Amino acid sequence: MIWQKVYDNYPVNRHLIWLNNCGTTPAGTHIVEAVTRFLAGYAEKGVLSERARYGDVRRRIKAILASLLHCGADELCLIHNTAEGMNFISHGLALKPGDEIILMENEYPSNVYPWWHWQEKGVRIRTAPMSETPGKFLENFKGLATARTRVAALSAVHWCTGMPLPLEALGAFCRAKGIELVVDGAQGVGMQALDVRAANISYMAFPAWKWLMGPLGLGVLYVAKEKLDNLTPVFVGTESVIDDQAYLPYKKQLKPTADRFILSTANFNDWVYFLASLEFLQQIGFEKVRRRLMELNSVLCDELRRAGCRLLSDGFAGQRSAICVFEKPGMAAADLLQRFSAAGIVAAERLGRMRLSPHIYNSFKQFDKVTDVLKSW
């Protein structure tokens, strides 16, 4: 059975029940093997090793991601993390005093701090309130936008509640109003079906190490082709320009793709790791992976309800998420987190609630331990 093989492929299952996959994901044996092969080849021949070539690995990563996101490979650039990507976007835009930016209440800092510098330049930052349902958020967002709103920087899925945002409806509204939609895809890419064209996303950044099961310290920047020249690179490095392998004479012409945002030599070890994780997911099938995520979370949520917990996702009006956020009456989340940790369950506490997020290597049987902790209180 495929899911038993996936379970067996992750050594973490012999030590912990890892249910914080929207935070970070452990490595499977396929990743250990891929990185080990690369390092063995690098030890033998350095950069001349045939086991993994810089250009080939980058092309394969971007091809898989382009297919997943329904965009062109030349619209993607490999960076370090979401915060870096958001800074490239924020500092690269041309806004004027009096313009407005809309962010989201209790947003992750990576999609907040990069925008603050605009306040010193006369740009107003407004905050869309958290809502109980995606539809209510859309309604609140529309009510907040004005003729001066130029940018909406929002998450695909809220990191504290697990609520998916209605990106296509938001994108349609932003298109009609001339608002640039910027997306933090950290909690969405890999967990949800995401079509950047259908959602009218101008710019997006996301990390490798959550639902895509890649390495810490690697991220992705998406820049819609028609928006590329609207984003001025604040930093320029060796790889930002055309014909970058010919170091002299110097060039002033930037690459005609999103790769102009690569400054210089990347951490190639991370690329090898990421390619192994993406090929693993692609071999299973990204749609099958998403269905499994929802199946796992649905069973987990049923178990929590039977244990007397209140789930935030019960109010999402049919919008499914693989992130489970709940409260247990009479139990403080901080205390419950300690109980989980003592039982070998890796979870997270957000805004006074518990957050669990299974991935495809988890099993239904592991959820029994979760309910045992809740019932033993």
Residue 1 banded pLDDT, cuts 50, 70, 90? confident
User: Which structure tokens are listed for 326?
Assistant: 């709940």
- Taking CA 345 as the corner, what is the angle to CA 365 and CA 1, rounded to the nearest 5 degrees? 30
What is the mean pLDDT of the segment spanning 137-160?
Answer: 97
Residue 151 above 70 pLDDT?
A: yes
Distances (CA, A) of 126 to 86, 103, 208: 17, 6, 29
Express the helix, strand and coil content of the chain in percent, nearest 5 each.
45, 15, 40
Handedness of CA 14, 19, 22, 24 (dihedral sign): negative
Distances (CA, A) of 4 to 9, 114, 291, 360, 364: 9, 42, 16, 10, 11
Model pLDDT, residue 377: 66
- Per-residue pLDDT of 6-29, as tens digits, reads 999 999 999 999 999 999 999 999
Distance from C-alpha of 330 to C-alpha of 129, rounded to nearest angstrom = 27
Residues ≥6 apart with Cβ < 8 Å to 329: 308, 310
What average pLDDT does the structure give for the chain? 96
User: How many Cα neighbours within 13 Å face the side chain of 216?
Assistant: 6
Model pLDDT, residue 120: 97
Share of the chain above pLDDT 90, in %: 92
- Per-residue pLDDT of 247-268, as tens digits, reads 999 999 999 999 999 999 999 9
Residue 370 banded pLDDT, cuts 50, 70, 90? very high
Residue 101 above 90 pLDDT?
A: yes
Residue 134 above 80 pLDDT?
A: yes
- Per-residue pLDDT of 166-182, as tens digits, reads 999 999 999 999 999 99
What is the mean pLDDT of the segment spanning 281-300?
Answer: 97
Domains and CATH numbers, the chain: 2-19+285-375 (3.90.1150.10), 40-281 (3.40.640.10)
Count helices and strands (H / E) in the chain.
10, 13
- Taking CA 112 as the corner, what is the angle to CA 220 and CA 317, rounded to the nearest 5 degrees? 80
In this prediction the pTM is 0.96
Residue 5 above 90 pLDDT?
A: yes
Residue 71 banded pLDDT, cuts 50, 70, 90? very high
Which of these, 10, 322, 326, 3, lies nearest to 189 by C-alpha position? Answer: 322
